[in-house]
Chain A
Amino acid sequence: MTSSTFETRSDLWQRIKSSLVYHSFTHNRTAMASAAVLLIFMLAAVTAPLIAPYDPWDQTQFDIMDSEIPPVGSEGADDRFVLGTDAMGRDMLSTMLYGTGISIAIGIFATILQCLIGVSIGLVAGYFGGRLDSFLMRFADIQLSFTTLMVAIIIIAVFQATAGLKFYNDFAIIVIVLVIGIAEWPQYARTVRACVLAEKKKEYVDAARVIGLKPMTIVYRHILPNTFSPLLVISTVQAANAIITEAALSFLGLGMPITKPSLGSLIRNGFEFIFSGSWWITAFPALILIVLILAINLLGDWLRDVLNPKLYDK
């Protein structure tokens, strides 16, 4: 007998290339364009310290005398600042590169946190059922009855008041990730629970029980991998939502501090000057935010379609 039984198929790339998802991706222009936009934004955000002309977090690098310079092409523009400067004299391009990074990071980490909490609770509730399930799901219902923004506003306002604004400004990104992560877990919990309820009736779960595996092993090793498709789809929605929530919080003055601005705090920052003619301070970050959210949502739509088995035969 050969040893081929236990070989994993080494050429993973070949498998991806022959998969349905890959085929659909390469035949869907919207998906490819969204992915390209998202990739460019992420690359730009990651490499921001290298490609940005200035460091917007370093207050010694900007001068108040450079404030509110319009972008190149307008009257009074300065070649040093391609997209103009904000009210503090910061280069808009550099600030937006860093801000995009912060927004995307909050989106990703908040989604990961939601996913961890929600998936764990959903798996336990779905698999063990009974009173535990009722308790956890009613808990999720209660959590859902408060909107995320309301929970976030209350927690952050209390945090700012008790810990002090300076302390908050230092740890703002962590606090925001925690608040958005904790407030949105029921979305994941419900989705996963519904999947588990469908999966646990299948005979492969019985087979695992007959082998004698621990319930937790069955849940994590057998059932969880079969819930990945819907998880992937809601992850895109949730990541976009987290970025929007952070932007909304920042807009209300409860998000990222202006010294380390996200896209949301940039929009808010510029909003004060929009009627004095300095439209670029708000318009550029807003445009970036819209394109970013749109790209994520379009990618999510495509993913939902391609992972829906009912659409295969069409």
Chain B
Amino acid sequence: MQQPQPNILLSVKKLNKEFNVSGGLLDQLSFQHGKLIRKKQSVKAINGISLDIVKGEALCLVGESGCGKTTVGRTIMGLLPPSKGTVHYRGQRIDNLNRSQLLPYRKHMQMIFQNPYASLNPRKTVATTLLEPVRFHFPEMSQAQQRQKVEQVMESVGVNANWGPRFPHEFSGGQRQRISIARALMVDPEFIVADEPISALDVSIQAQVLNLLMQAREDRGLTYLFITHDLSVVEHFGTRVAVMYLGRICELGITAEVFSSPRHPYTQALLSAIPKLGQSNLGRKSKHIKLKGEVPTPINLPSGCVFHDRCPHANQRCSNEIPELNNTSNGVQIACHAVEENRI
């Protein structure tokens, strides 16, 4: 589409990820009409996602449960190998590297996990957990320097220095998530994948952790891929937002633009579902859009646009042809035939 911009940090191209759900060879075999048939089924978690993450932004990935948000994050981090497609970091392809080749990138890319109760090793003290990445990535530092570094980062994310000798079970969810964030920041990364980092926390703690992440972004010039299903968080946190449905991106653009004038029918329906205060039933502008049916199974994807059988604007083309992300006038990218044809 365009020349690779120098400020693009991470670029994902036509990413696909399928999970085999039909088991081994023997499980795949079955008899039908007297014939031995091999049937292979897979969940298509991601279906050709392309997106660029610009340095310094906080790109939010939103969508309902099971739409593949987390899989995108994990594939980018190299925790899962992609089935098809590529991931480039600063122009270097990283999806096909092995563990030792990836090591230099591990210093730049880190991840924060969803469940603070599972993301800290219960048998290790906070100090051990936090020292581990520093020891591993900065072996040239003296022990005193390593410890100093850990203490600095701990202080910057509000982890009390006295917590060091304690074990994770002695802390609350919010405290643990701070420790997880500290661990991710230990290697001075520039890019962080945050996989629903606040969804397992109390609402009162969510704001604290969110502010901590925003503070870290300002102080350290971080870039985030923020995976969430919480639309109010997106509005507060994200500079850009990508809306996912069934493993595809349907709308991608500046958060304010997308929230003020959503154009993809799915985005419209999604945003209309945000509960709003202070609107009387009579005078409200946007009615709650009710979609028909349910999300189709990702094992048998609908042909054409994955959204076509629930879309109020779908026509013949939508059920045949997969829409690509296209730029629109206000810079928002939308994958919809109806928008392209100016039908909506």
Contacts and interface: CB of A to CB of B under 8 A. Distances in A.
Contact of A212 (B106, B120, B154): B106
Contacts of A225: 121, 123-124
Interface residues of B, number: 40
Interface in B117-160: 118-125, 127, 131-133, 136-137, 147, 150-151, 154-155
Contacts of A214: 99
Contacts of A210: 77, 79, 106, 109-111
Contacts of A145: none
Interface stretch (B46-54, B85-93, B161-169, B202-210): B161-169
A204 B132 CA distance: 12
Interface string B222-250: 00000000000000000000000000000
B115 A206 contact: no
A4 B164 contact: yes
B151 A203 contact: no
Contact of A4 (B102, B113, B131, B162): B162
A203 B106 CA distance: 17
Interface string A2-26: 1011111100000000000000000
A67 to B, nearest CB: 57
B179 to A, nearest CB: 11
B120 A204 contact: yes
Nearest to B112: A207
A226 B118 CA distance: 12
A7 B123 contact: no
B183 interface: yes
Nearest to B122: A226
A252 interface: no
Contact of B136 (A4, A8, A207, A212): A212
A202 interface: yes
Question: Considering residues A4, A208, A210, which has the most beta carbons from chain B within 10 angstroms of its beta carbon?
Answer: A210
Interface size class of A (residues with CB under 8 A): 20 to 34
Nearest to A222: B121
B291 interface: no
B17 to A, nearest CB: 16
B127 A5 contact: yes
B103 interface: yes
B63 to A, nearest CB: 20
A61 B180 CA distance: 68
A161 interface: no
Contact of A1 (B109, B121, B125, B161): B161
Contacts of B11: none
B133 A204 contact: no
B84 to A, nearest CB: 21
Contacts of A4: 161-162, 164-165
A222 to B, nearest CB: 5
B165 A226 contact: no
B114 interface: yes
B114 A206 contact: no
Interface string A224-245: 0110100000000000000000
A230 B131 CA distance: 28
Question: Considering residues A2, A5, A209, A213, which has the most beta carbons from chain B within 10 angstroms of its beta carbon?
Answer: A5
Contacts of A213: 132, 136
B310 to A, nearest CB: 32
Contact of A204 (B109, B118, B136, B150): B118
Given A207-B180, A211-B137, 7 more contacts: A1-B151, A5-B147, A6-B127, A203-B118, A204-B120, A204-B122, A211-B133
21 contacts: A1-B151, A1-B161, A5-B127, A5-B154, A5-B164, A6-B131, A8-B165, A9-B165, A203-B115, A203-B118, A204-B120, A204-B122, A206-B111, A207-B180, A210-B110, A210-B111, A211-B137, A211-B187, A222-B121, A225-B124, A226-B122
